[in-house]
Protein backbone atom coordinates (compact mmCIF):
# COMPACT_ATOMS: atom_id res chain seq x y z
CA UNK A 1 0.00 0.00 0.00
CA UNK A 2 1.17 3.58 -0.67
CA UNK A 3 -0.07 7.14 -0.26
CA UNK A 4 -0.38 7.58 -4.00
CA UNK A 5 -3.25 5.12 -4.37
CA UNK A 6 -4.83 6.30 -1.11
CA UNK A 7 -4.86 9.90 -2.40
CA UNK A 8 -6.41 8.65 -5.63
CA UNK A 9 -9.10 6.76 -3.70
CA UNK A 10 -9.89 9.80 -1.53
CA UNK A 11 -9.88 12.20 -4.48
CA UNK A 12 -12.44 10.17 -6.43
CA UNK A 13 -14.21 8.77 -3.35
CA UNK A 14 -13.69 5.12 -4.32
CA UNK A 15 -14.91 3.73 -1.01
CA UNK A 16 -18.22 2.96 0.61
CA UNK A 17 -19.79 6.20 1.79
CA UNK A 18 -23.12 4.88 3.07
CA UNK A 19 -23.34 5.03 6.89
CA UNK A 20 -19.78 6.35 6.97
CA UNK A 21 -18.26 6.93 10.39
CA UNK A 22 -14.95 8.11 11.74
CA UNK A 23 -12.86 5.67 13.74
CA UNK A 24 -14.08 7.50 16.83
CA UNK A 25 -17.69 6.53 15.99
CA UNK A 26 -18.96 9.90 14.73
CA UNK A 27 -21.22 10.16 11.68
CA UNK A 28 -19.22 11.41 8.68
CA UNK A 29 -20.39 12.82 5.37
CA UNK A 30 -18.20 14.40 2.70
CA UNK A 31 -19.44 17.44 0.78
CA UNK A 32 -16.18 18.19 -1.03
CA UNK A 33 -13.05 16.02 -1.26
CA UNK A 34 -10.91 19.12 -1.84
CA UNK A 35 -8.04 19.99 -4.14
CA UNK A 36 -4.88 17.90 -4.38
CA UNK A 37 -1.90 19.90 -3.13
CA UNK A 38 1.38 19.45 -5.01
CA UNK A 39 3.29 21.79 -2.71
CA UNK A 40 4.28 21.60 0.96
CA UNK A 41 1.50 21.16 3.50
CA UNK A 42 -1.52 18.86 3.84
CA UNK A 43 -2.41 16.64 0.87
CA UNK A 44 -5.87 18.14 0.15
CA UNK A 45 -7.12 21.68 0.75
CA UNK A 46 -10.59 23.27 0.55
CA UNK A 47 -12.22 20.17 2.03
CA UNK A 48 -15.75 20.31 3.43
CA UNK A 49 -17.11 17.55 5.68
CA UNK A 50 -19.77 17.10 8.34
CA UNK A 51 -19.03 15.28 11.59
CA UNK A 52 -22.13 14.52 13.67
CA UNK A 53 -23.93 17.23 11.69
CA UNK A 54 -21.32 19.93 12.36
CA UNK A 55 -19.68 21.30 9.20
CA UNK A 56 -15.90 21.50 9.06
CA UNK A 57 -13.81 23.27 6.41
CA UNK A 58 -10.09 22.68 6.16
CA UNK A 59 -7.58 20.09 4.94
CA UNK A 60 -7.17 16.33 4.72
CA UNK A 61 -3.87 14.52 5.27
CA UNK A 62 -3.29 11.05 3.80
CA UNK A 63 -1.04 8.38 5.36
CA UNK A 64 -0.61 4.63 5.09
CA UNK A 65 -0.33 4.42 8.87
CA UNK A 66 -1.64 7.01 11.31
CA UNK A 67 1.75 6.99 13.07
CA UNK A 68 3.30 8.40 9.86
CA UNK A 69 1.96 11.72 11.14
CA UNK A 70 4.79 11.72 13.67
CA UNK A 71 7.29 10.06 11.31
CA UNK A 72 6.79 12.93 8.86
CA UNK A 73 7.08 15.47 11.69
CA UNK A 74 3.62 16.98 11.25
CA UNK A 75 3.02 17.04 15.00
CA UNK A 76 5.09 20.22 15.42
CA UNK A 77 4.23 21.83 12.06
CA UNK A 78 1.61 24.58 12.31
CA UNK A 79 0.74 24.09 8.63
CA UNK A 80 -1.09 20.91 9.66
CA UNK A 81 -3.28 22.60 12.28
CA UNK A 82 -5.90 23.05 9.54
CA UNK A 83 -6.37 19.28 9.08
CA UNK A 84 -9.98 18.34 9.83
CA UNK A 85 -9.70 14.65 8.89
CA UNK A 86 -6.81 12.19 8.91
CA UNK A 87 -7.35 9.53 6.19
CA UNK A 88 -5.28 6.37 6.65
CA UNK A 89 -5.05 2.74 5.62
CA UNK A 90 -4.27 1.59 9.14
CA UNK A 91 -5.06 3.50 12.34
CA UNK A 92 -2.27 2.45 14.66
CA UNK A 93 -2.00 5.62 16.74
CA UNK A 94 -4.29 8.56 17.65
CA UNK A 95 -3.19 11.98 16.37
CA UNK A 96 -3.80 15.32 18.07
CA UNK A 97 -3.37 18.98 17.23
CA UNK A 98 -0.91 21.19 19.08
CA UNK A 99 -3.63 22.15 21.58
CA UNK A 100 -4.28 18.48 22.37
CA UNK A 101 -7.62 18.11 20.54
CA UNK A 102 -7.99 14.82 18.69
CA UNK A 103 -7.98 14.88 14.87
CA UNK A 104 -10.80 12.64 13.56
CA UNK A 105 -9.54 9.64 11.60
CA UNK A 106 -11.06 7.69 8.71
CA UNK A 107 -9.58 4.24 8.03
CA UNK A 108 -10.00 3.18 4.39
CA UNK A 109 -8.96 -0.44 4.87
CA UNK A 110 -12.06 -2.58 4.52
CA UNK A 111 -14.23 0.03 2.77
CA UNK A 112 -12.28 0.57 -0.47
CA UNK A 113 -13.64 -0.94 -3.68
CA UNK A 114 -11.54 -4.05 -4.20
CA UNK A 115 -11.61 -3.73 -8.01
CA UNK A 116 -9.76 -0.41 -7.82
CA UNK A 117 -6.93 -1.92 -5.82
CA UNK A 118 -6.73 -5.02 -8.01
CA UNK A 119 -6.41 -3.03 -11.24
CA UNK A 120 -3.89 -0.62 -9.74
CA UNK A 121 -1.55 -3.28 -8.36
CA UNK A 122 -1.92 -5.27 -11.56
CA UNK A 123 -0.48 -2.28 -13.45
CA UNK A 124 2.37 -1.94 -10.96
CA UNK A 125 3.24 -5.62 -11.32
CA UNK A 126 3.42 -5.51 -15.13
CA UNK A 127 6.87 -6.31 -16.56
CA UNK A 128 6.32 -4.17 -19.66
CA UNK A 129 7.95 -0.72 -19.69
CA UNK A 130 4.52 0.68 -20.52
CA UNK A 131 2.47 -0.93 -17.70
CA UNK A 132 -0.88 -0.71 -19.47
CA UNK A 133 0.45 -2.12 -22.76
CA UNK A 134 -1.90 -5.12 -22.61
CA UNK A 135 -4.97 -2.97 -21.96
CA UNK A 136 -3.94 0.22 -23.76
CA UNK A 137 -6.18 -0.59 -26.71
CA UNK A 138 -9.24 -0.47 -24.43
CA UNK A 139 -8.59 3.12 -23.37
CA UNK A 140 -10.64 5.92 -24.87
CA UNK A 141 -9.02 7.56 -27.90
CA UNK A 142 -9.84 11.08 -26.71
CA UNK A 143 -8.13 10.37 -23.38
CA UNK A 144 -5.00 9.33 -25.25
CA UNK A 145 -5.02 12.54 -27.28
CA UNK A 146 -5.58 14.62 -24.14
CA UNK A 147 -2.61 12.95 -22.47
CA UNK A 148 -0.50 13.49 -25.58
CA UNK A 149 -1.20 17.24 -25.54
CA UNK A 150 -0.52 17.41 -21.81
CA UNK A 151 2.84 15.64 -21.84
CA UNK A 152 4.06 17.66 -24.83
CA UNK A 153 3.57 20.88 -22.86
CA UNK A 154 5.19 19.27 -19.82
CA UNK A 155 8.26 18.34 -21.87
CA UNK A 156 8.54 21.79 -23.40
CA UNK A 157 8.22 23.42 -19.97
CA UNK A 158 10.79 21.07 -18.43
CA UNK A 159 13.34 21.85 -21.16
CA UNK A 160 12.53 25.55 -21.03
CA UNK A 161 13.19 25.48 -17.27
CA UNK A 162 16.73 24.24 -17.98
CA UNK A 163 17.23 27.15 -20.36
CA UNK A 164 15.98 29.60 -17.72
CA UNK A 165 18.48 28.22 -15.20
CA UNK A 166 21.26 28.88 -17.73
CA UNK A 167 19.79 32.32 -18.40
CA UNK A 168 19.89 33.19 -14.68
CA UNK A 169 23.46 31.89 -14.40
CA UNK A 170 24.41 34.17 -17.30
CA UNK A 171 23.11 37.31 -15.56
CA UNK A 172 19.99 37.22 -17.75
CA UNK A 173 21.96 37.55 -20.98
CA UNK A 174 19.98 35.85 -23.74
CA UNK A 175 22.82 35.99 -26.27
CA UNK A 176 25.27 34.18 -23.99
CA UNK A 177 22.55 31.71 -23.03
CA UNK A 178 21.66 30.94 -26.65
CA UNK A 179 25.35 30.41 -27.47
CA UNK A 180 25.86 28.01 -24.56
CA UNK A 181 22.54 26.17 -24.94
CA UNK A 182 22.88 25.70 -28.68
CA UNK A 183 26.58 24.88 -28.36
CA UNK A 184 25.84 22.21 -25.76
CA UNK A 185 23.50 20.42 -28.17
CA UNK A 186 26.18 20.17 -30.83
CA UNK A 187 27.32 17.30 -28.59
CA UNK A 188 24.21 15.32 -29.62
CA UNK A 189 23.77 13.90 -26.09
CA UNK A 190 26.99 11.90 -25.77
CA UNK A 191 29.24 14.97 -25.85
CA UNK A 192 26.79 17.52 -24.45
CA UNK A 193 28.73 18.03 -21.16
CA UNK A 194 32.02 18.75 -22.94
CA UNK A 195 30.39 21.12 -25.44
CA UNK A 196 28.62 23.03 -22.67
CA UNK A 197 31.84 23.35 -20.69
CA UNK A 198 33.64 24.57 -23.81
CA UNK A 199 31.10 27.36 -24.39
CA UNK A 200 31.29 28.34 -20.72
CA UNK A 201 35.10 28.61 -20.87
CA UNK A 202 35.05 30.62 -24.11
CA UNK A 203 32.67 33.59 -23.71
CA UNK A 204 30.47 34.69 -26.57
CA UNK A 205 32.16 38.11 -26.68
CA UNK A 206 35.50 36.48 -27.57
CA UNK A 207 33.90 34.53 -30.40
CA UNK A 208 32.27 37.71 -31.70
CA UNK A 209 35.59 39.53 -31.87
CA UNK A 210 36.78 36.96 -34.43
CA UNK A 211 33.53 36.37 -36.28
CA UNK A 212 35.08 37.19 -39.66
CA UNK A 213 38.01 34.81 -39.18
CA UNK A 214 36.82 31.18 -39.24
CA UNK A 215 40.34 29.82 -38.64
CA UNK A 216 40.65 31.83 -35.44
CA UNK A 217 37.28 30.60 -34.13
CA UNK A 218 38.34 27.04 -34.93
CA UNK A 219 41.68 27.62 -33.20
CA UNK A 220 39.99 28.86 -30.02
CA UNK A 221 37.44 26.04 -29.93
CA UNK A 222 39.78 23.17 -30.84
CA UNK A 223 42.51 24.58 -28.60
CA UNK A 224 40.37 24.96 -25.49
CA UNK A 225 38.84 21.57 -26.31
CA UNK A 226 42.34 20.10 -25.95
CA UNK A 227 42.14 18.47 -29.37
CA UNK A 228 44.89 20.21 -31.38
CA UNK A 229 47.73 17.67 -31.57
CA UNK A 230 51.36 18.51 -30.89
CA UNK A 231 52.46 15.99 -33.50
CA UNK A 232 50.47 13.97 -36.00
CA UNK A 233 51.51 10.33 -35.67
CA UNK A 234 51.02 7.66 -38.32
CA UNK A 235 51.91 4.18 -37.11
CA UNK A 236 55.18 4.39 -35.19
CA UNK A 237 56.56 7.29 -37.22
CA UNK A 238 56.17 10.92 -36.24
CA UNK A 239 55.44 13.06 -39.29
CA UNK A 240 55.36 16.84 -39.64
CA UNK A 241 52.13 18.57 -38.83
CA UNK A 242 49.78 19.37 -41.68
CA UNK A 243 49.66 23.04 -42.57
CA UNK A 244 46.12 23.45 -41.18
CA UNK A 245 47.11 21.93 -37.83
CA UNK A 246 50.21 24.10 -37.71
CA UNK A 247 48.11 27.23 -38.39
CA UNK A 248 45.57 26.23 -35.73
CA UNK A 249 48.25 25.77 -33.12
CA UNK A 250 49.90 29.08 -33.99
CA UNK A 251 46.60 30.97 -33.76
CA UNK A 252 45.62 29.21 -30.53
CA UNK A 253 48.92 30.01 -28.84
CA UNK A 254 48.47 33.69 -29.63
CA UNK A 255 44.75 33.93 -28.81
CA UNK A 256 44.88 31.83 -25.64
CA UNK A 257 47.64 34.10 -24.32
CA UNK A 258 45.64 37.19 -25.30
CA UNK A 259 42.47 36.02 -23.53
CA UNK A 260 44.00 34.03 -20.69
CA UNK A 261 42.60 30.67 -21.85
CA UNK A 262 45.65 28.49 -21.17
CA UNK A 263 44.57 27.25 -17.76
CA UNK A 264 41.06 26.15 -18.78
CA UNK A 265 41.63 23.48 -21.40
CA UNK A 266 39.37 20.45 -21.55
CA UNK A 267 41.16 17.11 -21.38
CA UNK A 268 41.15 15.15 -24.62
CA UNK A 269 39.76 12.05 -22.89
CA UNK A 270 36.56 13.94 -22.03
CA UNK A 271 35.49 13.75 -25.66
CA UNK A 272 33.61 10.61 -26.67
CA UNK A 273 34.21 9.01 -30.08
CA UNK A 274 33.11 5.42 -29.43
CA UNK A 275 29.71 4.29 -30.74
CA UNK A 276 29.49 7.37 -32.97
CA UNK A 277 29.37 7.43 -36.73
CA UNK A 278 32.44 9.34 -38.03
CA UNK A 279 30.21 12.13 -39.35
CA UNK A 280 29.08 12.65 -35.74
CA UNK A 281 32.56 12.80 -34.20
CA UNK A 282 32.98 15.81 -31.89
CA UNK A 283 35.78 17.10 -34.12
CA UNK A 284 33.40 17.37 -37.09
CA UNK A 285 30.65 18.87 -34.91
CA UNK A 286 33.10 21.45 -33.55
CA UNK A 287 34.05 22.46 -37.08
CA UNK A 288 30.36 22.82 -37.99
CA UNK A 289 29.71 24.81 -34.84
CA UNK A 290 32.60 27.12 -35.69
CA UNK A 291 31.04 27.71 -39.12
CA UNK A 292 27.72 28.64 -37.48
CA UNK A 293 29.40 31.05 -35.07
CA UNK A 294 31.29 32.75 -37.90
CA UNK A 295 28.06 33.48 -39.78
CA UNK A 296 25.99 35.45 -37.27
CA UNK A 297 26.47 38.53 -35.12
CA UNK A 298 23.58 37.37 -32.92
CA UNK A 299 22.63 33.71 -32.73
CA UNK A 300 19.76 34.45 -30.37
CA UNK A 301 18.14 37.11 -32.55
CA UNK A 302 18.46 35.13 -35.76
CA UNK A 303 16.71 32.15 -34.13
CA UNK A 304 13.95 34.00 -32.26
CA UNK A 305 13.07 36.15 -35.26
CA UNK A 306 12.60 33.22 -37.63
CA UNK A 307 8.99 32.85 -38.73
CA UNK A 308 9.30 29.70 -40.84
CA UNK A 309 10.86 26.31 -40.22
CA UNK A 310 12.66 26.58 -43.55
CA UNK A 311 14.56 29.57 -42.15
CA UNK A 312 15.85 27.43 -39.29
CA UNK A 313 16.96 24.74 -41.72
CA UNK A 314 18.89 27.40 -43.64
CA UNK A 315 20.72 28.35 -40.43
CA UNK A 316 21.86 24.77 -39.92
CA UNK A 317 23.03 24.12 -43.46
CA UNK A 318 26.58 23.94 -42.20
CA UNK A 319 29.41 22.91 -44.48
CA UNK A 320 32.52 22.69 -42.33
CA UNK A 321 35.85 24.13 -43.48
CA UNK A 322 37.91 22.41 -46.17
CA UNK A 323 40.16 20.40 -43.84
CA UNK A 324 37.14 18.83 -42.16
CA UNK A 325 35.59 17.77 -45.45
CA UNK A 326 38.51 15.35 -45.78
CA UNK A 327 39.15 14.39 -42.14
CA UNK A 328 37.10 12.94 -39.28
CA UNK A 329 39.99 13.40 -36.86
CA UNK A 330 43.26 15.29 -36.90
CA UNK A 331 45.84 13.62 -39.13
CA UNK A 332 43.51 10.87 -40.36
CA UNK A 333 42.28 11.40 -43.88
CA UNK A 334 38.87 9.96 -44.66
CA UNK A 335 38.36 7.68 -47.64
CA UNK A 336 35.34 9.67 -48.76
CA UNK A 337 34.16 13.24 -48.40
CA UNK A 338 32.90 14.07 -44.90
CA UNK A 339 29.30 15.27 -45.33
CA UNK A 340 27.99 18.62 -44.20
CA UNK A 341 25.41 18.68 -41.41
CA UNK A 342 22.43 16.73 -42.69
CA UNK A 343 18.75 17.50 -42.31
CA UNK A 344 18.28 14.81 -39.67
CA UNK A 345 20.99 16.34 -37.46
CA UNK A 346 19.58 19.82 -38.10
CA UNK A 347 16.12 18.60 -37.03
CA UNK A 348 17.56 17.21 -33.80
CA UNK A 349 19.16 20.59 -33.06
CA UNK A 350 15.86 22.33 -33.75
CA UNK A 351 13.91 19.88 -31.56
CA UNK A 352 16.31 19.76 -28.62
CA UNK A 353 17.92 23.19 -28.66
CA UNK A 354 16.00 25.75 -30.70
CA UNK A 355 12.46 24.89 -29.62
CA UNK A 356 13.25 24.90 -25.84
CA UNK A 357 15.10 28.20 -26.25
CA UNK A 358 12.09 29.79 -27.94
CA UNK A 359 9.68 28.35 -25.35
CA UNK A 360 11.87 29.67 -22.50
CA UNK A 361 11.93 33.14 -24.08
CA UNK A 362 8.17 32.93 -24.63
CA UNK A 363 7.61 32.11 -20.94
CA UNK A 364 10.05 34.73 -19.67
CA UNK A 365 8.67 37.54 -21.86
CA UNK A 366 5.04 36.32 -21.83
CA UNK A 367 4.84 35.94 -25.61
CA UNK A 368 2.37 33.07 -26.21
CA UNK A 369 2.63 33.49 -29.97
CA UNK A 370 6.21 32.19 -29.78
CA UNK A 371 5.03 29.07 -27.95
CA UNK A 372 2.44 28.50 -30.68
CA UNK A 373 5.14 28.90 -33.31
CA UNK A 374 7.40 26.39 -31.56
CA UNK A 375 4.63 23.79 -31.37
CA UNK A 376 3.76 24.42 -35.01
CA UNK A 377 7.38 23.77 -36.01
CA UNK A 378 7.43 20.53 -34.02
CA UNK A 379 4.32 19.48 -35.92
CA UNK A 380 6.13 20.06 -39.24
CA UNK A 381 9.24 18.03 -38.37
CA UNK A 382 9.15 14.25 -38.92
CA UNK A 383 8.98 12.13 -35.78
CA UNK A 384 12.13 10.80 -34.17
CA UNK A 385 12.70 7.10 -34.66
CA UNK A 386 13.99 5.41 -31.52
CA UNK A 387 13.26 2.53 -29.18
CA UNK A 388 10.61 4.47 -27.27
CA UNK A 389 8.69 5.66 -30.33
CA UNK A 390 8.75 2.16 -31.78
CA UNK A 391 7.26 0.82 -28.55
CA UNK A 392 4.37 3.27 -28.81
CA UNK A 393 3.84 2.40 -32.46
CA UNK A 394 3.46 -1.22 -31.38
CA UNK A 395 0.50 -0.02 -29.31
CA UNK A 396 -0.92 1.67 -32.43
CA UNK A 397 -0.22 5.14 -31.09
CA UNK A 398 0.35 7.76 -33.76
CA UNK A 399 3.97 8.86 -34.16
CA UNK A 400 3.93 11.11 -37.21
CA UNK A 401 5.64 14.32 -36.13
CA UNK A 402 8.29 15.50 -33.69
CA UNK A 403 5.45 16.84 -31.53
CA UNK A 404 4.20 13.25 -31.24
CA UNK A 405 7.60 11.73 -30.55
CA UNK A 406 8.56 14.37 -27.98
CA UNK A 407 5.25 13.90 -26.16
CA UNK A 408 5.57 10.11 -26.18
CA UNK A 409 9.14 10.24 -24.87
CA UNK A 410 7.92 12.38 -21.96
CA UNK A 411 4.96 10.04 -21.36
CA UNK A 412 7.22 6.99 -21.34
CA UNK A 413 10.04 8.41 -19.21
CA UNK A 414 8.04 10.35 -16.63
CA UNK A 415 4.87 8.30 -16.27
CA UNK A 416 5.34 4.74 -17.51
CA UNK A 417 8.88 4.11 -16.24
CA UNK A 418 8.12 5.83 -12.93
CA UNK A 419 4.83 3.88 -12.65
CA UNK A 420 2.83 7.09 -12.23
CA UNK A 421 -0.24 5.40 -13.66
CA UNK A 422 -2.65 7.31 -11.42
CA UNK A 423 -1.26 10.64 -12.69
CA UNK A 424 -1.76 9.49 -16.27
CA UNK A 425 -5.10 10.14 -17.95
CA UNK A 426 -5.09 6.71 -19.57
CA UNK A 427 -3.73 4.80 -16.57
CA UNK A 428 -6.22 6.38 -14.17
CA UNK A 429 -9.11 5.62 -16.52
CA UNK A 430 -8.06 1.96 -16.72
CA UNK A 431 -7.89 1.74 -12.92
CA UNK A 432 -11.34 3.30 -12.65
CA UNK A 433 -12.91 1.19 -15.42
CA UNK A 434 -15.52 -1.37 -14.41
Reduced to 3 states (helix: H, G, I; strand: E, B; else coil), residue 165 is helix
Work out the burial of residue 206: count CB atoms within 10 Å of its CB; fewer than 13 is exposed, 13-18 middle, 19 or more buried: middle
Residues 181 and 292 in one domain: yes
In total, how many domains does the chain have? 3
Residues 280 and 406 in one domain: no
Helices (H) and strands (E) in the chain — how many of each?
18, 10
Residue 187 pLDDT class (50, 70, 90 cuts)? very high
- 393 assigned to some structural domain: yes
Work out the burial of residue 143: count CB atoms within 10 Å of its CB; fewer than 13 is exposed, 13-18 middle, 19 or more buried: middle
What local confidence, expressed as pLDDT, does residue 239 receive? 46
Show the domain range for 14: 3-112
- 82 assigned to some structural domain: yes
Structure confidence by residue, pLDDT tens digits, 80-116: 999 999 999 999 999 999 888 999 999 999 999 888 8
Structure confidence by residue, pLDDT tens digits, 232-265: 455 444 445 689 999 999 999 999 999 999 888 9
- 117 assigned to some structural domain: no
Residues 334 and 354 in one domain: no
Residue 342 pLDDT class (50, 70, 90 cuts)? very high
- 293 assigned to some structural domain: yes
Domain endpoint, select from 291, 307, 341: 341
Cα-Cα-Cα-Cα torsion 14, 18, 19, 21, nearest 10 degrees, comes to 10
- 118 assigned to some structural domain: no
- Closest-CA residue to 227 (of 294, 280, 282): 282
Residues 83 and 52 in one domain: yes
What local confidence, expressed as pLDDT, does residue 46 receive? 95
pTM over 0.95: no
Q: Average pLDDT in the 286-301 region?
A: 96
Residue 253, C-beta contacts closer than 8 angstroms, at least 6 positions apart: none
Domain endpoint, select from 341, 361, 380: 341
Q: Are 124 and 419 in contact (CB under 8 A)?
A: yes
Q: Average pLDDT in the 192-198 region?
A: 97
Residues 138 and 266 in one domain: no
Residue 124 pLDDT class (50, 70, 90 cuts)? confident
Reduced to 3 states (helix: H, G, I; strand: E, B; else coil), residue 354 is helix
What local confidence, expressed as pLDDT, does residue 238 receive? 47
Distance CA 161, CA 368 (A): 16
Residues 258 and 325 in one domain: yes
- Closest-CA residue to 377 (of 347, 398, 407): 347
Tell me what percent of the chain is helix, strand and coil, each rounded to the nearest 5: 55, 15, 35
Amino acid sequence: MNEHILSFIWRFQYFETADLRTDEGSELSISRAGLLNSNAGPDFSNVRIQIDGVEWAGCVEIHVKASDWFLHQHATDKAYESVVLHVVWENDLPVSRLDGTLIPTLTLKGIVRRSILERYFQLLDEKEEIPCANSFGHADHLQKLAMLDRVLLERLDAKASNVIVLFQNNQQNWEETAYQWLGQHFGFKLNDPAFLRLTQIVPWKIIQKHRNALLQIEAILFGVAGLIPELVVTGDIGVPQEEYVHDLRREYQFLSAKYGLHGNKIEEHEWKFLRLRPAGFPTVRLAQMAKLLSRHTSIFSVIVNQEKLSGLHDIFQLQQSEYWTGHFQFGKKSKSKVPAMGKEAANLLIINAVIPLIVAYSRQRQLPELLDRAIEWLSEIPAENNRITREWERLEMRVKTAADSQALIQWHNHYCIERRCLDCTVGASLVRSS
